[in-house]
Amino acid sequence: MGPPRPRPTAVYNVRLAEPAGEAAAAGEPAVALLENGRVAAVRPWKGGAREPELGEGWLKIDGGGLWLLPGWVDLQVNDLEWLAKGFRPPAEHRERILEVARRQAARGVTGFILATLAAPEEEILSYLEGMALVLKGRDQDASAGGEAFLGGLVEGTFMNPAFHGAHNPAHVRPPDPALLDRFLSTGAVRLVNIAPEMSLEATALIAAAARRGAVVGVGHAKPHAERVREAVRAGLKYVIHWGNGPTGSSLKSFAGGGLLEEALRNDDLIVTLIADGIHLDPRLVRDVIARKGWERVIAVSDAGFAAGNPSGEFEVFGVRGRVSGDGRYLEVVPARPGPPPHPHSSDFAPLFGSAADMRRIFETCLNLLTVEMEGIYCRRHEAMELPEALRAACRLCAGNPARLLEEEGRGGFEPGARADAVLVGVQGRRGSYRVEVREVWLGGYGQPSLSGVRS
């Protein structure tokens, strides 16, 4: 038996970023009815703080004029703290993933993907098998956050080892159909990273993964543009953390340029961006959105620590990292001490995932959209009004990632959608808004939120 059905809930006196149901105007007071795990109705609300009149059994929550948004969907979360502990059996991974799911849900994330690193094969397989246990039991774990977990991203195994970033290149493997089959056979893999330049057979590997339902991405790679187009024809769908990893680039005319350039040019590719304000200059984020269009850009956290950042140094699979002094980012510690970079050079240390969660990613997106700014490749970007910027940030952080995963009913707030929602306070002024998570619903179940979350 699964958990009891979620209690019917009316969230009234709220504002929506996008018109839904009968609530025709964004930003105007509305009431949302959540029933049987779905959005039953969305209507205009003119009653202020007065409770709506409904039948028996309804839980009525006064939103106090706050914003009710679709729950965030994060396509790339790392659990470095856990993976650093070494091999664990699948059952232990299951318990840890459920713990992470509860924490993510409490912070407004109603769908997330856990990434694997370049690591020993047996450790990756055990981790994926633990993920599969969570996916098989999601109905039983729904009320405790389990439904937020959507599967795994195999990120490090089939990358280009020369572009390993914070991964250990010793654990990177050439394209291997048998190893891919072992990973996919766990039933946990939703996304897989394959560098198409690593062998002639790489496009066949991409096609095989796509046929079996995995969404294929490319990152930590340096194919030329013509090879990227071949990969797209084979089934490649998206570019993993564009501009980071690193992402191969070529400004020369040979073969159409590099991955970074083709990702911008090719309308068949979606790009994900680590929009923490550090991995990418905010001006570049605006440039990419302007070039790709809103429907082809996804914001991810690439959070290094799924359950909260540590202090000081850490080590995972032979790669050392540390938290910056201000706690805003994670950087790789060089394996061998060498001379420091020249103070006027741009030789900055590789970053080790981000120190941000999706609340901060959403807040950063909101702030870079609400100010006028110059671009790098574009001369100027206009400022958006708050409701418009909220709507755009919801697309980047909820609607677009759900669409890439083909997660029907997630990422939106139309009647019939899953009752995945986050109630947030938005305070401040253009460019410096503060977003605070007040309440969260996952499939209609209220989550034990960390009230006033801002970290």
- Whether 454 has a pLDDT exceeding 50, the answer reads no
Q: What is the CA radius of gyration of the chain?
A: 22
The pLDDT tens digits for 155-169 are 999 999 999 999 999
Q: Report the range of poorest mean pLDDT among 13-27, 118-132, 226-240, 303-317.
A: 13-27
- 335 pLDDT band, cuts 50/70/90, is confident
Enter the CATH code of domain 72-305+353-404. Answer: 3.20.20.140
Q: In whole numbers, what is the pLDDT of the chain averaged over residues?
A: 93
Q: Which of 220, 271, 249 is nearest to 115 (CA)?
A: 220
Q: Which residue type does 322 have? A: R
- Predicted TM-score (pTM) of the model is 0.95
**Mean pLDDT computed over 309-334:** 90
- The Cβ-side half-sphere exposure at 447, using a 13 Å CA radius, reads 33
**Mean pLDDT computed over 91-100:** 96
| Residue 80: predicted pLDDT | 94
| Residue 237: predicted pLDDT | 98
**Residue carrying the six token digits 């232990």:** 92
Q: For the chain, give me the number of helices (H) and strands (E)?
A: 11, 20
Helices 177-184 + 202-211 axis angle, to 10:
20
Kindly tell me the burial class for residue 373, based on how many C-beta atoms sit within 10 Å of its own C-beta (0-12, 13-18, 19 or more).
Answer: middle
8 Å CB contact between 387 and 26 = yes
CATH classification number, 9-70+411-446, choose in 3.40.50.170, 3.40.50.2300, 2.30.40.10, 2.40.128.110: 2.30.40.10
Residue with more model confidence, 74 or 22: 74
Cα(205)–Cα(368) distance, integer angstroms: 38
| Residue 2: predicted pLDDT | 61
The pLDDT tens digits for 4-14 are 789 999 999 99
Q: Which of 107, 36, 34 is nearest to 73 (CA)?
A: 107
Domain range list for the chain: 9-70+411-446, 72-305+353-404
The pLDDT tens digits for 8-43 are 999 999 999 988 777 667 889 999 999 999 999 999
| Residue 3: predicted pLDDT | 67
The pLDDT tens digits for 227-278 are 999 999 999 999 999 999 889 999 999 999 999 999 999 999 999 999 999 9
